[in-house]
Amino acid sequence: MSGRTLSFLVLVAAVCGARVPTNSSNYTFPDGFKFGVATASYQVEGAWNKDGKGHSIWDYQTHNETYLIADGSNGDDACDSYHMLEKDVALLKNLGVDFYRFSFSWSRLLPSGHINAVNNAGIDYYNGLIDALLREGIEPLATIYHWDLPQQLQDLGGWPNPVLADYFEDYARLLFENFGDRIKMWITFNEPSVFTNGYESNINHAPSIEAPGFGKYLASHTVLKAHAQAYHLYNNMFRETQKGNVGITLTIDWCEPKEETEHHLAACERFQQFEMGLYGNPIFSEEGDYPEIVKTRVDNISEAQGFRRSRLPKFTQDEIEYIRGTADFFGLNHYTTQLGTPSTVIDSQPSYRNDIGIHTEYDESWPESASSWLRDVPWGFRKILVSLKQRYGNPPIIITENGFSDREGHEDDSRIHYHIGYLTELLKALHEDGVNVFGYTAWSLMDNFEWNQGYTERFGLHYVNFTDPERPRTIKKSGKIFKEIVATREIPERFRK
Ligand SMILES: *[C@@H]1O[C@H](CO)[C@@H](O)[C@H](O)[C@H]1NC(C)=O
Ligand SMILES: *[C@@H]1O[C@H](CO)[C@@H](O)[C@H](O)[C@H]1NC(C)=O
Ligand SMILES: *[C@@H]1O[C@H](CO)[C@@H](O)[C@H](O)[C@H]1NC(C)=O
Ligand SMILES: *[C@@H]1O[C@H](CO)[C@@H](O)[C@H](O)[C@H]1NC(C)=O
Ligand SMILES: CC(=O)N[C@H]1CO[C@H](CO)[C@@H](O)[C@@H]1O
């Protein structure tokens, strides 16, 4: 079905509200399918300078470049999860989830980023969290890096500096040594395609370095090596005794060609290969390395712009082999779909966006969220899952994030509509297309600090009152529905067609 027909259906669904049923051939999740919810350290922990924690690039940005944050706020206190881990675990227990995806704060464990000085209070905090989860039978799914780089490593240049791969390996070793007896699912990086934008422009992400056309590629190059080093370290030193799995989380929107022409299709293919293939191809493809189209585009455009060498760094053959195959599973974050139109004018100013050669937009009929980049387009989820199966030989996939933002309130019908629609499309991918998805993580356990949008966009299944120093959490309507799905392992009857 074309995007246009489907967007009409989505519109009808939106007008009728959250209780409009969604069609599938089978509404039941298979045995062993896992449900969880996610958070990230800087977005929930607070306690930004307590008990010996060092400063991260997000502490630095929110304090020194306040104008970049929509409401001028910060994560100094956030949800105060550092002091409320028992409360968070109680929420998880009530939801009945199989696992909790959280991230470690590098600067809470290694205040300077370096391995020579470990902060024991940080080790204690995470031990407390992991043990509390395990006591309730909730599996910890840990992200090693969810964007809060220690500021002292940024002072060395941050991710564009290749030496960071070694420092990341040191940090990963500390985690495997201290927590690997209890953590069996590791994610090295969350969304490299997003956080490396922090080296492309100053509109999105810490450290907000403006180095368009260079910074993102250099940062990505280091991140891929860092990921592979951590994977090999685990493989060589820890896997035999700890018996866990290591993967990476990539994020990708579906790109629907705005018109059915070859050029539109090619533009969307470029979009997918730059946004995801840049990381997915080196790790998950049979041949390894960056995708051919990414290499030739950046090489050619660099030349046309008068550079003597490509702005995209090159891997040696040894590095290609070293990085290829370094994931036991594919972590997928997926939120939305965009309409793509080719844009072939080569700008004299280097930029990542120009290298892709695409213009993207949203269909006005797609239901809006509180976030400018996020619309409720469930059918794109199935398409991206099928494309991953085809591209990378049907790897085991866990959805590590999927969620919807609004501004306020507990009666969040639009979030219910989103999760029901996306879960129904996931079931189609699983049952009808044979995509190997084994888990689903809702973003997020609770409302939290939404990066540059501060507290203006809420993604939680629980409401958090950020003006109350106690940070009370209360379950939303969507949280109750999610709990029902987790308990019954199926889409409730009343949401079906
Ligand atoms: C629901 O979907 C199934 C399979 O995808 C299809 O065979 C059936 O005709 C659909 N039913 C309706 C009412 O759209
Ligand atoms: C639906 O899927 C579940 C889980 O995989 C399976 O046990 C069941 O047999 C399926 N039902 C039908 C009607 O195919
Ligand atoms: C790159 O340049 C070569 C030689 O000019 C040309 O044949 C090729 O089509 C170009 N590829 C892309 C992706 O622009
Ligand atoms: C949040 O907490 C403040 C302070 O305790 C209170 O005045 C306010 O009514 C609360 N807001 C909501 C929506 O519960
Ligand atoms: C000038 C200034 O405000 N500097 C601050 C930048 O952010 C760091 C980390 O939060 C603070 O320690 C500095 O005081």
Q: What is the pLDDT of residue 21?
A: 64
Predicted local distance difference test score (pLDDT) of residue 319: 98
**Alpha carbons 280 and 248: distance in angstroms, whole number:** 9
Distance 12 CA to ligand 1 centre (A): 17
Indicate if ligand 2 lies below 6 Å from the C-beta of 26. Answer: yes
60 lines ligand 5 (CB under 6 A): yes
Instruction: Decide: 469 in ligand 4 pocket, CB within 6 A.
Output: no
For residues 194 and 167, give the distance between their C-alpha atoms in angstroms, rounded to a whole number: 21
> Can you tell me whether residue 462 is helix, strand or coil?
strand
| Residue 28 near ligand 3, beta carbon < 6 Å | no
Q: Give the distance (Å) from ligand 5 centre to CA of residue 205.
A: 17
How many angstroms does the Cα of residue 301 sit away from the middle of ligand 3? 9
Name residue 91's amino acid.
L
The residue contributing the CA closest to ligand 4 atom 3 is 468
Our answer on whether the CB atom of 1 is closer than 6 Å to any ligand 1 atom is: no
DSSP class of 203: S
Residue 259 — φ and ψ, nearest 5°?
-130, 155
Among candidates 249, 245, 325, which has minimal Cα distance to 282?
Answer: 325
Minimum-distance ligand 1 atom for the alpha carbon of 23 = 1
From the CA of 53, the nearest ligand is: 5
Q: Indicate the domain borders of the chain.
A: 8-495
CB 300 less than 6 A from any atom of ligand 3: yes
Question: In angstroms, what is the span from residue 76 Cα to ligand 4's centroid?
Answer: 19
- Return the SS3 of 261: coil
Whether 309 contacts 297, CB under 8 Å: no
Catalytic choice (401, 425, 450, 457): 401
Tell me which fold the domain 8-495 belongs to: TIM Barrel (3.20.20)
Residuewise pLDDT in 10s, the chain (497 residues): 333 333 333 333 333 334 446 777 899 999 999 999 999 999 999 999 999 999 999 999 999 999 999 999 999 999 999 999 999 999 999 999 999 999 999 999 999 999 999 999 999 999 999 999 999 999 999 999 999 999 999 999 999 999 999 999 999 999 999 999 999 999 999 999 999 999 999 877 999 999 999 999 999 999 999 999 999 999 999 999 999 999 999 999 999 999 999 999 999 999 999 999 999 999 999 999 999 999 999 999 999 999 999 999 999 999 999 999 999 999 999 999 999 999 988 788 999 999 999 999 999 999 999 999 999 999 999 999 999 999 999 999 999 999 999 999 999 999 999 999 999 999 999 999 999 999 999 999 999 999 999 999 999 999 999 999 999 999 999 999 999 999 999 999 999 97
Instruction: State whether the beta carbon of 28 lies less than 6 angstroms from ligand 2.
Output: yes
Question: Which ligand 1 atom sits nearest the alpha carbon of residue 24?
Answer: 2
Give the contacts of 159 (CB within 8 A, at least 6 positions apart): 149, 196, 199, 218, 219, 220, 222, 223
Q: How far is the CA of 9 from the centre of ligand 1 (A)?
A: 14
Our mutation pick for probing the ligand 5 site, out of 56, 61, 64, 108, counting the most ligand atoms within 8 A of Cβ, is 64
Whether the model pTM is above 0.85: yes
* CA nearest neighbour of 281 among 391, 401, 398, 399: 391
493 is a catalytic site residue: no
Q: Is the CB of 318 under 6 A from ligand 4?
A: no
Alpha carbon nearest to ligand 2 atom 8, residue: 28
Residue 292 CB–ligand 3 contact under 6 Å: no
